[in-house]
Structure 1
Amino acid sequence: MHRDIQTDNWISVCQLGDIVPNTGVCALLNQRQIAVFHVQAGEARVFAIDNYDPNSQAAVLSRGLVGSVGERIVVASPIYKQHFDLQTGECLEAPEHSVNTYPARIEDGKVWVGL
């Protein structure tokens, strides 16, 4: 089961411009691989989820394709193509393989993730 990680420990990851719109990057934060996504649909938004795909057992989600399924903003895993909701971490095809989400924000042109 996924869980939302909430904390006041914010870490600066990179400049927003360092992430091509509608793609992701992997950041190593406190020994944890986090997939950080820059979604540009109108205003810029950022999302952070675990980089580890439990379906393929590989750390690859940051390399997935960003899109939507209905109203949900998702990333499709590059290996088996399961879709992960970037807001909730839910794996749409296999909810038992959902991932953790982390708060993310843009401030002064920088991407911040809360751990």
Structure 2
Amino acid sequence: MTCENLKEEHVQKLKELEKTLPSFEEFEEYSDKFKALSDPTRLKILYLLSEGSCCTCSIQEILDKPQSNISHHLKILKNAGFIDSKKDGIWVYHKVKDPEIIKLLDDLSNLITN
């Protein structure tokens, strides 16, 4: 088989594979979600929330960051669909939407650090 034939065969296989992939818009959405996970403060917040519901002020105290900074990170995590928030009087409580996300983060961390 010539190099050109081999190249054509690979290109054809890749074209077939591309038909099965999510759309560009779906990949953009995935990318936005990954961006939400690309900040150390947001990752810490997710791990803190893995223990259960927590108010903004508690997260602020633990991470020793201004309330506005914590609220900004919480908004990004909420918009990405990773956490839910519930207001109770003047307090806002947050929790991980699906605890499986923490397991996936652990698995991914183990995979990329080994």
TM-score over 0.5 for the pair: no
TM bracket (short chain): under 0.3
TM-score, with structure 1 as normaliser: 0.24
Give the helix-richer structure, 1 or 2.
Answer: 2
* Higher RCO, Cα 8 Å, sep 6+: 1
Give the strand-richer structure, 1 or 2.
Answer: 1
